[in-house]
Amino acid sequence: MARPLTLYYAPFSRASRGLWMLEELDEPYALRLIDIRKGEQKRPEFLAINPAGKVPALRDGDRTVAESAAICAYLADRFPDAKLAPAADAPERAAYLTWLFYAASNIEPAVMARANKWDVSAYQASWGGYESVIDNIAGAVRRGPYLLGPQFTAADVILGSMVRFGVSAKLIPNRPEFTAYIAHLEARPALQRAIKIEAEYVAQLKT
């Protein structure tokens, strides 16, 4: 029998977020490598799973979830015992959803606009200016250790992955708030395992 959870995955892509999230759970899962250098994400057999032609995608039995933030939100609610999301009626749910969606829809375009020197009107774009996005994230993680304080959630997987990548790629400034936040995230065994698994896939692809 196929395992119920299968992540369609490519190393060094946004699929790393799904891998980390799965490692935070205590559920069996399989990784299915999609070689994006060969364009496998645009082949008909993968488009039947995710018509958007992107990794990650997650299969859970006959259900499919795409978009890394949706995968994290889905898994967090699907496996409540892991406590990776405040319950639907918990007061913290408001901040949890705010940060999950904020990360998904603001950080990447703001950072890419800056890196590519696009002329963005802060009034026109929903993400506003790069500086205000960076200030807003810094404010959110200042208290720590996580976005919601003591409780680590799926929103940290998404926002944390973006901050980790952004700082290492020098797309996000290395402010003390981010250094501390990244250190808290990297202390998590699940992220350490995900990093190790990713390295093994990278080595495998190189051979």
**Under the rule (CB under 8 A), what is the footprint of a second copy?**
14, 51-54, 60, 62-67, 69-70, 73-74, 77-78, 88-89, 91, 93-95, 97-98, 100-102, 104-106, 108-109, 112-113, 116, 118-120, 124-126, 128, 132-133, 136, 139-140
Comparison of 88 and 207: residue with beta carbon closer to a second copy: 88
Comparison of 63 and 196: residue with beta carbon closer to a second copy: 63
CB of 161 to a second copy, least distance (A): 12
CA distance 47 to 39: 11
CA distance 142 to 140: 6
CB of 195 to a second copy, least distance (A): 21
CB of 167 to a second copy, least distance (A): 18
Comparison of 66 and 84: residue with beta carbon closer to a second copy: 66
Comparison of 63 and 83: residue with beta carbon closer to a second copy: 63
CB of 82 to a second copy, least distance (A): 14
Comparison of 59 and 188: residue with beta carbon closer to a second copy: 59
SS (H, E, C) the chain: CCCCEEEEECCCCCHHHHHHHHHHCCCCEEEEECCHHHCHHHCHHHHCCCCCCCCCEEEECCEEEECHHHHHHHHHHHCHHHCCCCCCCCCCHHHHHHHHHHHHHHHHHHHHHHHCCCCCCCCCCCCCCHHHHHHHHHHHHCCCCECCECCCCHHHHHHHHHHHHHHHCCCCCCCHHHHHHHHHHHCCHHHHHHHHHHHHHHHHHHC
CB of 28 to a second copy, least distance (A): 18
